[in-house]
Structure 1
């Protein structure tokens, strides 16, 4: 049985809402917690991410999503997230910790 897309979206948003201030997760890590792939996480955030701290989710290499890059880096900097050369220092702020 396939999960209802709205349920998957809600599960993704619930996980993203739990990312603490000053911490960052990846699309893949959120996906593993929900049981979906990273692209499905991105789709859920593009649909309803404005209601949660979407900017705390980055690519596996620590880079922000290109369409929102400047805004995402600005919001992360406001939370004290370390960024070097346009990449979040995931070793310092990864959530959940491995």
Structure 2
């Protein structure tokens, strides 16, 4: 039950990521008050690619790498989804990551 609640909180933050922006596992962890749980956020996001209302493709690692790409169906779906939003990806890395980074702790609706 606690895991379900954690995942629910992760998904709530992920749903707020603006179109054309990205955030990191660690930023989501901090936003939900679990700063040392970036890896758990990653586990939550692994299953989120199947949820239509959670833009899991917008969550990358702290360096802008598409570390979760293997959890999307198809060969390059995560990259394709990001590029469809105008986000440039080269070598599995978001280009201009700092400019595109969305901080849920400071920009959250909460």
Same fold (TM over 0.5): yes
**Aligned length in residues:** 96
Q: 1:35 is matched with which residue: 33, 36, 56? A: 33
Shift of 1:4: 1.2
- Unaligned runs of 5+ residues in structure 2 are none
Distance 1:33 1:45 in 2: 15
Following superposition, the deviation at residue 49 of structure 1 comes to 4.2
Structure in which a larger fraction of residues adopt helix: 1
**2:102, 2:61 → 1: CA distance?**
13
C-alpha RMSD of matched pairs (Å): 2.1
Match of 2:99 in 1: 92
3-state DSSP of counterpart to 2:77:
helix
Partner of 2:59: 57
Provide the rounded CA distance (Å) in 2 between the counterparts of 1:25 and 1:64.
11
Quote the offset at 1:81 in angstroms.
1.0
Distance 2:16 2:49 in 1: 13
Where does the alignment leave 5 or more consecutive residues of structure 1 unmatched?
A: none
For the 8 Å contact 2:48–2:56, the answer to whether it is kept is no
